[in-house]
Structures are given as structure tokens and as C-alpha cells.
Amino acid sequence: MAWDISEHAAYAGGLATRVAELRRRFPDALVTCDVEGAFAGPELICWNARPEEIWVWVFEPDDAAGVRRAQSRLEQLLAAPHELTSVVDKSVVAGPNDVFEKGSVTASSYIDVDGRIEVRNGPGDGIQLFRAFDIEGFDDTAERVAINLALGAAYKADRDSRKALGFRYDRPSPRFREDDERH
């Protein structure tokens, strides 16, 4: 199964809204994210909101298969977090979903005039689910601009946090999701 452009817009837009929420709530926190959906690790990492923990979230489509994948990926990540702990020696835990002000956020798609996106808390901490849907005749230019601004801010937060963490590369891991059925 591959993501179509609307699903990718839902993923990227949903991720950007969650990054914005984390940055608003924890302005000094280092937050990295995978806006392109190119790597196997967690899509969202908050490195220092709590001094003793690294919070991670995985993002998957909002359907039964996505929930199963998210649970499996998160379980595997928490069982073997060496890529993260090699950067910062802290416990890696499922990101607490209650740090997000709203359990579900709906916004305009940044690519489709009639498109809407939604990101919501999954069935447990560390899991975020996204979806794309259409509302015929819907057009909220201001919301679409806000999502584009959030995407730009997510890229900037990611770049600045990676620099502060001392990453030598633009991304934390060279492992692409070649075998990932989502792409």
C-alpha cells in the first residue's frame, strides 16, 4: 500500500500541527520530525521536555491496519531505542498524548481546496493517527496558509534541534523505509 498525495498531505499537515503544539507548550524543547515520511524511526521526537526522558510518537493512517502498524512499530522502537539513546543518554518512552491540547485536530489540506486533514491521538501514548477527507465546496484559504506556515515551522524546528543535538547529517538515520509498505 502506498500513500497517495492526499494521505501524505494529511500525514505532513498532522505532524506539523503536533510539532507546533509541542513548541507552543514547551518552547525550549528540542523537537525533531520526519515531515517527508522517509525514515523508519519515530516521526516525532521531543528530546528534552522532561529532563530524564525522550518522548517519541509514530504516525500511521487512521484505519485498523494503521493502528496495528503503529502499535508494532512503537513496541519495536521502545524495545530497541539505541539509535536515540546513542544521541542522548535518556530513557525513551512513548510520547504522552495528553501533552496535546486537543485529542483531535482538523484543518485544511495544504494541497487540495476541498481537502481536509485530521490527526488524532491513537489508542495509546506514542501513537498518532491521520486521515484525509473531502468536504465539497469547502475552501478555507486562511487555514491552508496556517498549515503551510506550520510545515515551515516544523522544518525549522527539526533543523534547529538537529543542529543543537550535534547531528552531522540532515537526518538522524540513513535507513530509508525501502521495505515499508506505506510508501
pLDDT of residue 141: 64
Give the predicted TM-score (pTM) of the model.
0.83
pLDDT, mean of residues 14-43: 90
All 3 cell numbers of residue 23? Answer: 513548541
Strand runs labelled E in the chain: 31-33, 44-46, 53-61, 91-94, 104-108, 115-121, 127-134
Question: In whole angstroms, how far apart are CA 149 and each of 43, 144, 145, 168, 169?
Answer: 19, 9, 6, 26, 24
All 3 cell numbers of residue 180? Answer: 515499508
The pairing of strands 127-134 and 53-61 is parallel
Question: In whole angstroms, how far apart are CA 14 and each of 4, 7, 109, 128, 151?
Answer: 15, 10, 10, 9, 9
Q: What is the pLDDT of residues 31-87, one digit of tens each?
A: 999 988 777 789 999 999 998 999 999 999 999 999 999 999 999 999 988 888 787
Q: What is the pLDDT of residues 127-154, one digit of tens each?
A: 999 998 877 665 666 676 777 778 888 8
Most confident segment among 53-57, 82-86, 158-162, 173-177: 53-57
All 3 cell numbers of residue 71? Answer: 502499535
